Amino acid sequence: MTKYFLLLTLHFSLLAQITQKPLLEGKNGMVVSTHPAASEIGLAILKNGGNAVDAAVAVNFALAVAHPSAGNIGGGGFLVYRDKSGAVKALDYREKAPLAASRDMYLDPEGNIIPGKSMTGIFSVGVPGTVAGMQEMHAKLGRLPWEALLKPAVALARNGLVLTEKEARGLNRQRTEFIKENPGKNYLLSAEGKEWKAGDLLVQEDLANTLELILRKKAKGFYKGPTARNIVREMKSKNGIISKKDLRHYQAVWRTPIKSQYKNYQIIGMPPPSSGGVALAQLLQMVAPYSLKNWGPTSDSTIQVMVEAERRVYADRAKWLGDPDFVKVPVAELIDSTYATSRMSSMNFNQATKSSDIQAGVFPGYESPETTHYSIVDREGNAVSITTTLNNSYGSKVFVGGSGFLLNDEMDDFSAKAGAPNLYGLIGSKANEIQPNKRMLSSMTPTIVEENGKLKMVVGTPGGSTIITSVFQVVLNTLEMGMNMQQAVEYPRFHHQWLPDKITSEPNRFSAEQQVRLQSKGYTFAPVSAIGLVEGILVLPNGNLQGGADSRGDDTVSAY
C-alpha cells in the first residue's frame, strides 16, 4: 500500500511539474499544429466553410513557410482520414527512390557505408511527394477552391513571418550546413551574417513565387515547368540523380488503413510503407492483457511492460516492414492478438530481456527527429491526421535555386546496408533495401481512434524512431491513465527501439530511485532533452473537442 501511494504521489508530482499550455476546447472545429500561424490559417479555412481536408491542405502549405525545418513542399507524408459517417481512407505520398538509385549507392568499394552520404546533400534526396499528395486529397475529399487554400501561404511567404525563439535558434544552428550545401545562395540566412533572433521578419520571395505557381497550376506547377526545371538543374549542378522523368511520374497512392482493436477502442493507422500503423497496433495488443490502469504510469511494472513490448515490436519492424509494392509484408500476422501474446511470453518482471536475445517473429511463407504533424476535426466530424517530413531537421540542407525550398534527405530511411543503423539508429533488412521507384520505410504514425463507432481521438507526432512510442504513450495516457489531452501530450516520455539496447528518457520521467531499481534488473538509461511534439484532439462525451499542443515546441491549438 505504501508503494502504491508513493507511485501516486510521483504521478501527480509529474503532472504538476510539466509545463502546460492552457487546456483549450472548441465546439465547431479544431486545428492543432506545430506553428501558431499555420493553426490559425487552418482554423480560418474551417470558419469559411472548408472541411478538415481543406484545412489540412492550407496548413501544409503554411507550414512550408512557417516551419521550414519540417513543413515542406520538398518532402512527403501520410494522411489518415475518417469522414463523419465513419468511412476511413489512407493516402501515401511518401517520397520515392529515383530511377537511377541502386542498392549499394551509399557503400564504398569495400562494402562499408560512406558516412553522411545518405543523410546530407544532393545524394540523400528522394523524389518529393507532398504537392502530389495535397492535390490528390483535395481532389477526392476537399470542398473549397484550391486557390483559396494556397493564398494564405503565399501571403505569409511574401509578407514575411515573424520568427519565434525556437525557429530563430533552429535556423542559426543550421547556418554552417546551409552555406556548405548551397554556395553562393542566401536562403534562410540573415542579412550581413548576423544571427536570427525572435521577432525578426523572414521573407521568402522565391518560395512565394513557387507557391503561387502551385496555386495556379496545382501539382503541375511543381512536377513540371519552371519548378521541375529548377530541381533538375540543382541535381545536375551537384551530380544528383533525380530526373525530369522521376518528377513527372510521381503519384500519391491510396491504401487501406490498418484497423486493430484495443479493448473497446478501434485504432486506425497508416499501413506500410509506414511502419507506424502496424507497430502501434502491435504495441497495444501486447500491453492489453496487463493492468496498466491499476498500476499507473509511474510504476515499475508499467514501465517494464511497455519497454519489453517496444523492444519486440522494433525487432519485427527491422525485419518485416517495407514498401508493400516491392515486398510481401505480413501485416495480418503481425497485428494478430495470438502473435502478440506469444511475443510477450518470454517477458520476466525480475529481469530485462536482452535485445541480443530478441529476434523478429517467424511466419511461414515470408522471407527523424524532425518531422511535423497536424490534427484537424471540422464541425461535421470529419477528421484528418497527417504527418509530413523532410526527415532530418531541414532535410538535405539543399535549397532549390530560384524556387526557395528545401529538399528532403529521405533516402537515409532505406537500409543502406543490412544490419547497419540509419540516422535514428534504426536497423534495417532486405525488406527495406534501396530499389528504383521504391518508397522508403517510415516511422510516421498518424492515428485516429474510435470508441463504440464514434470518433474519439486524432493524434500524431514528429520524432524519427520515437514517433511510434510517443503516440503509443499518449494514447495510453488518455485511454488508460485518465489524463486530459493536454496532460497526455505534456507528460514526460521514454523510448526503447530494440537496438541500441537502452531506454532514452526525458528529464523527470523516472526518479533516481526507480532508475536504480530498474538498472538492477538489467535496464540501461540514456537521458535526452525532449522526445516528440505531439498534436492531439480528444472528442469529449458532450461532443466538444479538447486539444493538446506540445510545449516542447511552438505547437498551438486553434478552435472555435
Query: From CA 377, how far away is CA 77, in angstroms rounded?
Result: 19
Would the pLDDT of 364 be above 60? no
Query: From CA 171, how far away is CA 193, in angstroms rounded?
Result: 12
Is 161 a known ligand-binding residue?
no
Residue 45 φ/ψ, nearest 5 degrees: -65, -45
Please calculate the CA angle 313-437-90 and round it to the nearest 5 degrees.
Answer: 55
pLDDT tens digit sequence for 90-114: 999 999 999 999 999 999 999 999 9
pLDDT tens digit sequence for 252-310: 999 999 999 999 999 999 999 999 999 999 999 999 999 999 999 999 999 999 999 99
Averaged pLDDT, 376-401: 97
Averaged pLDDT, 332-361: 94
Query: From CA 494, how far away is CA 265, in angstroms rounded?
Result: 24
Query: From CA 306, how far away is CA 435, in angstroms rounded?
Result: 34
Of 164, 227, 302, 371, which residue is the catalytic one? 371
Q: What percent of the chain has pLDDT over 90?
A: 90
Is 325 a known ligand-binding residue?
no
pLDDT tens digit sequence for 278-288: 999 999 999 99
Is 442 a known ligand-binding residue?
yes
Query: Residue 551 CB: number of other CB atoms within 10 A?
Result: 15
Would the pLDDT of 549 be above 70? yes
Residue 371 φ/ψ, nearest 5 degrees: -145, 180
State the helix-helix crossing angle for 337-344 and 276-287, rounded to 10 degrees.
Answer: 70
Is 551 a known ligand-binding residue?
no
Is 15 a known ligand-binding residue?
no
Query: From CA 243, how far away is CA 79, in angstroms rounded?
Result: 26
Q: Kindly state the cell numbers that stand for 353.
A: 530481456
Would the pLDDT of 558 be above 90? yes
DSSP string, 476-528: HHHHTT---HHHHHHS--EE--SSS--EEE-TTSS-HHHHHHHHTTT--EEE-
Query: From CA 494, how far away is CA 469, in angstroms rounded?
Result: 8
Averaged pLDDT, 31-56: 99
End-to-end Cα, the chain, rounded Å: 45
Residue 334: which H helix or E strand, with range?
helix 331-334
Please indicate, yes or no, if residue 169 is contained in any of the structural domains: yes
Would the pLDDT of 366 be above 50? no
Please indicate, yes or no, if residue 277 is contained in any of the structural domains: no
Rounded to whole angstroms, what are the CA distances from 78 to 134, 377, 473? 10, 17, 21
Please indicate, yes or no, if residue 54 is contained in any of the structural domains: yes
Q: Kindly state the cell numbers that stand for 135.
A: 492535390
Strand partners, 262: 265
Averaged pLDDT, 336-348: 97
Please tell me the total count of domains within the chain: 1
pLDDT tens digit sequence for 155-188: 999 999 999 999 999 999 999 999 999 998 999 9
Rounded to whole angstroms, what are the CA distances from 451 to 264, 268, 340, 409? 6, 11, 22, 38
Q: Are strands 24-26 and 383-389 parallel, antiparallel or unpaired?
A: unpaired
Instruction: Extract the runs of DSSP E, i.e. beta strands, from 151-270.
Output: 161-162, 201-202, 253-255, 258-262, 265-269
Query: From CA 341, how far away is CA 330, in angstroms rounded?
Result: 17
pLDDT of residue 429: 80
Per the CB < 8 A criterion, the answer to whether 309 and 316 are in contact is no
pLDDT of residue 470: 98
Would the pLDDT of 473 be above 70? yes
pLDDT tens digit sequence for 431-472: 999 999 999 999 999 999 999 999 999 999 999 999 999 999
Return the half-sphere exposure (C-beta side, CA atoms, 13 A cut-off) of residue 337. Answer: 8
Q: Which residues contact 541 (CB under 8 A, 6 or more apart)?
A: none
| Domain that residue 417 falls in | 37-77+89-254+373-431
State the DSSP code for 67: -
Query: Residue 296 CB: number of other CB atoms within 10 A?
Result: 18
pLDDT of residue 19: 60
Is 556 a known ligand-binding residue?
no
Please calculate the CA angle 59-173-527 and round it to the nearest 5 degrees.
Answer: 90
Judged by DSSP in three states, 333 sits in helix
Please calculate the CA angle 371-310-512 and round it to the nearest 5 degrees.
Answer: 95
Would the pLDDT of 336 be above 90? yes
Please indicate, yes or no, if residue 480 is contained in any of the structural domains: no
Query: From CA 196, how far away is CA 178, in angstroms rounded?
Result: 14
Would the pLDDT of 365 be above 80? no
pLDDT tens digit sequence for 533-545: 999 999 999 999 9
State the helix-helix crossing angle for 146-159 and 36-47, rounded to 10 degrees.
Answer: 150
Average model confidence (pLDDT) for the chain? 94
Query: From CA 197, how far away is CA 256, in angstroms rounded?
Result: 45
pLDDT tens digit sequence for 207-253: 999 999 999 999 999 999 999 999 999 999 999 999 999 999 999 99
Please indicate, yes or no, if residue 483 is contained in any of the structural domains: no
Quick check: is 371 catalytic? yes
Would the pLDDT of 508 be above 70? yes
Averaged pLDDT, 46-55: 99
pLDDT of residue 14: 65
State the DSSP code for 428: -
- Region of 54 please: left (phi>0), alpha (psi -120 to 50) or beta: alpha
pLDDT of residue 11: 63
Would the pLDDT of 141 be above 80? yes
Is 391 a known ligand-binding residue?
yes
pLDDT tens digit sequence for 409-436: 999 999 988 777 776 677 778 899 999 9
Q: What's CA 185's distance to the chain center, in Å? A: 29
pLDDT tens digit sequence for 1-39: 545 445 555 565 666 667 679 999 999 999 999 999 999
Q: Kindly state the cell numbers that stand for 15.
A: 503532472
- Predicted confidence band at 359 (pLDDT cuts at 50, 70, 90)? confident
Please indicate, yes or no, if residue 322 is contained in any of the structural domains: no
Is 160 a known ligand-binding residue?
no
pLDDT tens digit sequence for 82-92: 999 999 999 99
Query: Residue 526 CB: number of other CB atoms within 10 A?
Result: 11
Please indicate, yes or no, if residue 465 is contained in any of the structural domains: no
Return the half-sphere exposure (C-beta side, CA atoms, 13 A cut-off) of residue 198. Answer: 4
Please indicate, yes or no, if residue 352 is contained in any of the structural domains: no
